[in-house]
Amino acid sequence: MKINKRKWAIVGTIVLWVGILSYLGFSIFFVKDREKGTVCRRVEVVIADSAQNRFINTEDIIVTANKVVKKLVGTRISKINTHRIENKILEMPFIKRAEVYTSVSGVLRIEVEQREVIMRIFNADGSSCYIDKYGYIIPLSERSAADVVVVSGNISLKNGKGGRVRVVDTSKDSCDRKGLLPELFDFVTYIRNDEFWNAQIEHVYINSPKDIELITRVGNHTVLLGSFEDFQTKLKKLFVFYKNALPREGWNRYSIINLKYKNQVICKNKVL
Protein backbone atom coordinates (compact mmCIF):
# COMPACT_ATOMS: atom_id res chain seq x y z
CA MET A 1 0.00 0.00 0.00
CA LYS A 2 2.79 2.36 0.96
CA ILE A 3 4.62 1.44 -2.23
CA ASN A 4 1.57 2.26 -4.37
CA LYS A 5 1.20 5.65 -2.68
CA ARG A 6 4.85 6.39 -3.31
CA LYS A 7 4.49 5.38 -6.98
CA TRP A 8 1.44 7.60 -7.42
CA ALA A 9 3.31 10.49 -5.79
CA ILE A 10 6.20 10.04 -8.25
CA VAL A 11 3.81 9.77 -11.20
CA GLY A 12 2.00 12.91 -10.02
CA THR A 13 5.26 14.85 -9.78
CA ILE A 14 6.28 13.75 -13.27
CA VAL A 15 2.92 14.75 -14.72
CA LEU A 16 3.14 18.13 -12.99
CA TRP A 17 6.60 18.87 -14.43
CA VAL A 18 5.56 17.69 -17.90
CA GLY A 19 2.63 20.10 -17.71
CA ILE A 20 4.84 22.98 -16.58
CA LEU A 21 7.43 22.37 -19.30
CA SER A 22 4.74 22.02 -21.94
CA TYR A 23 3.20 25.31 -20.86
CA LEU A 24 6.57 27.07 -20.93
CA GLY A 25 7.36 25.64 -24.35
CA PHE A 26 3.98 26.73 -25.70
CA SER A 27 4.42 30.21 -24.18
CA ILE A 28 7.87 30.65 -25.72
CA PHE A 29 6.60 29.44 -29.09
CA PHE A 30 3.60 31.78 -28.86
CA VAL A 31 5.76 34.79 -27.98
CA LYS A 32 8.27 34.03 -30.74
CA ASP A 33 5.52 33.47 -33.27
CA ARG A 34 3.83 36.72 -32.29
CA GLU A 35 7.13 38.58 -32.33
CA LYS A 36 7.76 37.57 -35.95
CA GLY A 37 4.84 39.66 -37.10
CA THR A 38 5.39 42.58 -34.72
CA VAL A 39 6.91 45.77 -36.08
CA CYS A 40 8.92 48.29 -34.09
CA ARG A 41 6.50 51.02 -33.03
CA ARG A 42 8.79 53.07 -30.84
CA VAL A 43 12.42 53.42 -29.78
CA GLU A 44 13.10 54.21 -26.13
CA VAL A 45 16.55 55.41 -25.07
CA VAL A 46 17.63 55.48 -21.43
CA ILE A 47 20.93 57.22 -20.60
CA ALA A 48 21.53 56.03 -17.04
CA ASP A 49 23.82 58.83 -15.86
CA SER A 50 22.59 61.77 -17.95
CA ALA A 51 22.39 64.02 -14.89
CA GLN A 52 26.16 63.65 -14.23
CA ASN A 53 27.55 63.27 -17.75
CA ARG A 54 26.16 64.88 -20.88
CA PHE A 55 28.56 63.75 -23.57
CA ILE A 56 25.82 62.18 -25.71
CA ASN A 57 22.06 62.49 -26.02
CA THR A 58 19.13 60.41 -27.25
CA GLU A 59 19.51 61.62 -30.83
CA ASP A 60 23.16 60.46 -30.94
CA ILE A 61 22.14 56.96 -29.83
CA ILE A 62 19.29 56.66 -32.35
CA VAL A 63 21.47 57.92 -35.22
CA THR A 64 24.10 55.29 -34.33
CA ALA A 65 21.48 52.52 -34.06
CA ASN A 66 20.08 53.48 -37.46
CA LYS A 67 23.46 52.72 -38.98
CA VAL A 68 22.65 49.05 -38.33
CA VAL A 69 18.97 49.24 -39.31
CA LYS A 70 18.27 52.16 -41.62
CA LYS A 71 14.77 52.81 -40.24
CA LEU A 72 14.05 51.16 -36.91
CA VAL A 73 10.44 52.27 -36.54
CA GLY A 74 8.35 50.20 -38.94
CA THR A 75 10.85 47.34 -39.23
CA ARG A 76 9.79 43.90 -38.02
CA ILE A 77 11.21 43.09 -34.59
CA SER A 78 12.44 39.73 -35.93
CA LYS A 79 14.59 41.60 -38.46
CA ILE A 80 16.32 43.80 -35.87
CA ASN A 81 19.67 42.42 -34.70
CA THR A 82 19.94 43.84 -31.17
CA HIS A 83 23.43 42.38 -30.68
CA ARG A 84 24.78 44.29 -33.70
CA ILE A 85 23.15 47.49 -32.45
CA GLU A 86 24.81 47.02 -29.03
CA ASN A 87 28.22 46.56 -30.65
CA LYS A 88 27.72 49.61 -32.85
CA ILE A 89 26.78 51.78 -29.87
CA LEU A 90 29.78 50.49 -27.92
CA GLU A 91 31.98 51.90 -30.70
CA MET A 92 30.99 55.37 -29.51
CA PRO A 93 33.95 56.57 -27.40
CA PHE A 94 31.79 57.93 -24.57
CA ILE A 95 29.81 54.73 -24.02
CA LYS A 96 30.87 52.32 -21.29
CA ARG A 97 27.91 49.89 -21.41
CA ALA A 98 25.02 49.27 -23.80
CA GLU A 99 22.04 46.92 -23.64
CA VAL A 100 19.43 46.63 -26.41
CA TYR A 101 16.28 44.51 -26.29
CA THR A 102 12.77 44.38 -27.73
CA SER A 103 9.30 43.70 -26.37
CA VAL A 104 6.35 41.83 -27.87
CA SER A 105 4.49 45.16 -27.92
CA GLY A 106 6.96 46.51 -30.50
CA VAL A 107 9.21 48.67 -28.33
CA LEU A 108 12.98 48.71 -28.94
CA ARG A 109 14.67 49.76 -25.71
CA ILE A 110 18.27 50.98 -25.64
CA GLU A 111 19.97 51.46 -22.27
CA VAL A 112 23.44 53.01 -22.12
CA GLU A 113 25.92 54.17 -19.50
CA GLN A 114 28.54 56.82 -20.25
CA ARG A 115 32.18 56.80 -19.27
CA GLU A 116 33.16 58.85 -16.23
CA VAL A 117 36.09 61.13 -17.02
CA ILE A 118 38.51 62.24 -14.30
CA MET A 119 40.89 64.61 -16.10
CA ARG A 120 41.32 66.68 -19.22
CA ILE A 121 44.69 66.82 -20.96
CA PHE A 122 45.80 69.96 -22.79
CA ASN A 123 48.73 68.91 -24.95
CA ALA A 124 51.68 71.14 -25.77
CA ASP A 125 50.47 71.34 -29.39
CA GLY A 126 47.08 72.72 -28.31
CA SER A 127 45.06 69.53 -28.80
CA SER A 128 43.04 68.06 -25.96
CA CYS A 129 41.44 64.83 -24.73
CA TYR A 130 39.96 63.20 -21.63
CA ILE A 131 41.02 60.24 -19.51
CA ASP A 132 38.27 58.25 -17.81
CA LYS A 133 38.30 56.54 -14.40
CA TYR A 134 39.62 53.30 -15.92
CA GLY A 135 42.48 55.04 -17.73
CA TYR A 136 41.00 55.07 -21.23
CA ILE A 137 41.86 58.01 -23.50
CA ILE A 138 38.74 59.49 -25.11
CA PRO A 139 38.15 62.54 -27.32
CA LEU A 140 36.28 65.69 -26.37
CA SER A 141 32.52 65.90 -26.72
CA GLU A 142 30.71 68.48 -28.81
CA ARG A 143 27.80 68.28 -26.37
CA SER A 144 29.39 69.17 -23.05
CA ALA A 145 32.64 69.86 -21.19
CA ALA A 146 33.37 67.98 -17.98
CA ASP A 147 34.34 69.78 -14.77
CA VAL A 148 37.46 67.77 -13.97
CA VAL A 149 41.13 68.26 -13.11
CA VAL A 150 43.07 69.95 -15.92
CA VAL A 151 46.54 68.70 -16.88
CA SER A 152 48.78 70.79 -19.11
CA GLY A 153 52.39 71.78 -19.73
CA ASN A 154 55.11 69.67 -21.29
CA ILE A 155 52.91 66.72 -22.17
CA SER A 156 51.78 65.20 -25.44
CA LEU A 157 49.10 62.53 -25.39
CA LYS A 158 47.35 61.44 -28.57
CA ASN A 159 43.62 60.70 -28.62
CA GLY A 160 42.82 57.05 -28.08
CA LYS A 161 41.22 54.88 -30.76
CA GLY A 162 37.60 55.35 -29.75
CA GLY A 163 38.27 54.86 -26.06
CA ARG A 164 40.28 51.65 -26.46
CA VAL A 165 43.75 52.86 -25.43
CA ARG A 166 44.63 53.02 -21.73
CA VAL A 167 47.31 55.23 -20.22
CA VAL A 168 48.05 52.57 -17.61
CA ASP A 169 49.11 50.25 -20.44
CA THR A 170 51.35 52.92 -21.95
CA SER A 171 54.90 53.05 -20.57
CA LYS A 172 55.70 56.31 -22.37
CA ASP A 173 53.89 59.41 -23.56
CA SER A 174 54.55 60.66 -27.10
CA CYS A 175 57.46 62.72 -25.72
CA ASP A 176 59.11 59.39 -24.81
CA ARG A 177 59.07 59.83 -21.02
CA LYS A 178 58.82 56.50 -19.27
CA GLY A 179 56.19 56.03 -16.57
CA LEU A 180 54.77 59.55 -16.61
CA LEU A 181 51.23 58.66 -17.76
CA PRO A 182 50.58 55.80 -15.31
CA GLU A 183 51.94 57.98 -12.47
CA LEU A 184 49.72 60.87 -13.53
CA PHE A 185 46.71 58.55 -13.66
CA ASP A 186 47.42 57.22 -10.14
CA PHE A 187 47.81 60.75 -8.81
CA VAL A 188 44.58 62.13 -10.30
CA THR A 189 42.66 59.00 -9.26
CA TYR A 190 43.86 59.52 -5.70
CA ILE A 191 42.83 63.18 -5.46
CA ARG A 192 39.55 62.41 -7.26
CA ASN A 193 38.67 59.91 -4.53
CA ASP A 194 39.60 62.28 -1.69
CA GLU A 195 36.92 64.83 -0.83
CA PHE A 196 39.36 67.54 0.30
CA TRP A 197 41.90 67.26 -2.53
CA ASN A 198 39.20 66.89 -5.15
CA ALA A 199 37.85 70.26 -4.06
CA GLN A 200 41.27 71.92 -3.66
CA ILE A 201 43.41 70.83 -6.64
CA GLU A 202 42.12 72.02 -10.00
CA HIS A 203 45.18 72.02 -12.26
CA VAL A 204 48.32 69.91 -12.67
CA TYR A 205 51.11 71.56 -14.65
CA ILE A 206 53.97 69.38 -15.88
CA ASN A 207 57.29 71.11 -16.54
CA SER A 208 59.09 67.77 -16.51
CA PRO A 209 58.55 64.38 -14.80
CA LYS A 210 60.50 65.71 -11.78
CA ASP A 211 59.06 69.21 -11.79
CA ILE A 212 55.28 69.17 -11.36
CA GLU A 213 53.15 72.05 -10.10
CA LEU A 214 49.68 72.01 -8.57
CA ILE A 215 47.30 74.95 -8.91
CA THR A 216 44.77 75.21 -6.09
CA ARG A 217 41.27 76.66 -5.85
CA VAL A 218 41.65 78.13 -2.37
CA GLY A 219 44.71 80.15 -1.36
CA ASN A 220 45.84 81.49 -4.73
CA HIS A 221 49.20 79.75 -4.43
CA THR A 222 51.19 77.24 -6.47
CA VAL A 223 52.30 73.96 -4.89
CA LEU A 224 55.63 72.55 -6.10
CA LEU A 225 55.22 68.79 -5.91
CA GLY A 226 58.48 67.74 -7.55
CA SER A 227 57.90 64.28 -9.06
CA PHE A 228 54.88 62.02 -8.49
CA GLU A 229 57.06 59.74 -6.38
CA ASP A 230 55.64 59.32 -2.85
CA PHE A 231 52.91 61.87 -3.61
CA GLN A 232 50.64 60.61 -0.82
CA THR A 233 53.25 61.51 1.81
CA LYS A 234 53.72 64.93 0.21
CA LEU A 235 49.98 65.63 0.25
CA LYS A 236 49.72 64.55 3.88
CA LYS A 237 52.52 66.98 4.68
CA LEU A 238 50.66 69.73 2.84
CA PHE A 239 47.42 68.93 4.63
CA VAL A 240 49.10 69.28 8.03
CA PHE A 241 50.53 72.61 6.90
CA TYR A 242 47.09 73.77 5.76
CA LYS A 243 45.53 72.69 9.03
CA ASN A 244 48.13 74.08 11.46
CA ALA A 245 49.85 77.03 9.77
CA LEU A 246 47.53 78.73 7.32
CA PRO A 247 44.66 79.45 9.75
CA ARG A 248 47.17 81.61 11.71
CA GLU A 249 49.18 83.06 8.85
CA GLY A 250 46.41 83.43 6.27
CA TRP A 251 45.57 81.45 3.13
CA ASN A 252 46.74 84.23 0.83
CA ARG A 253 50.11 84.91 2.44
CA TYR A 254 52.24 82.63 0.23
CA SER A 255 52.68 82.50 -3.52
CA ILE A 256 54.60 79.21 -3.53
CA ILE A 257 54.51 76.16 -1.23
CA ASN A 258 57.37 73.77 -1.94
CA LEU A 259 56.96 70.05 -1.06
CA LYS A 260 60.02 68.74 -2.92
CA TYR A 261 62.18 68.19 0.14
CA LYS A 262 61.67 65.41 2.67
CA ASN A 263 60.10 66.45 5.99
CA GLN A 264 60.04 70.11 4.93
CA VAL A 265 57.53 72.64 3.65
CA ILE A 266 59.26 75.69 2.18
CA CYS A 267 57.15 78.74 1.45
CA LYS A 268 57.65 81.94 -0.50
CA ASN A 269 55.81 85.09 0.55
CA LYS A 270 53.78 87.01 -1.94
CA VAL A 271 55.33 90.23 -3.17
CA LEU A 272 53.19 93.12 -1.94
What's residue 36's pLDDT?
Answer: 61
pTM for the model stands at: 0.78
What's residue 26's pLDDT?
Answer: 47
pLDDT, tens digit (0-9, with 9 covering 90-100), for 83-105: 999 999 999 999 999 999 998 88
What's residue 29's pLDDT?
Answer: 46
How would you class 179 by CB atoms within 10 Å of its CB: exposed for 0-12, middle for 13-18, buried for 19 or more? Answer: middle
- Show the low-confidence residues of the chain (pLDDT under 70): 1-37, 159-163, 170-178, 272
The 3 state secondary structure assigned to 29-95 is HHHHHHHHCCECCEEEEEECCCCCCCCCCHHHHHHHHCCCCCCCCCCEHHHCCHHHHHHHHHCCCCE
What's residue 248's pLDDT?
Answer: 86
What's residue 233's pLDDT?
Answer: 96
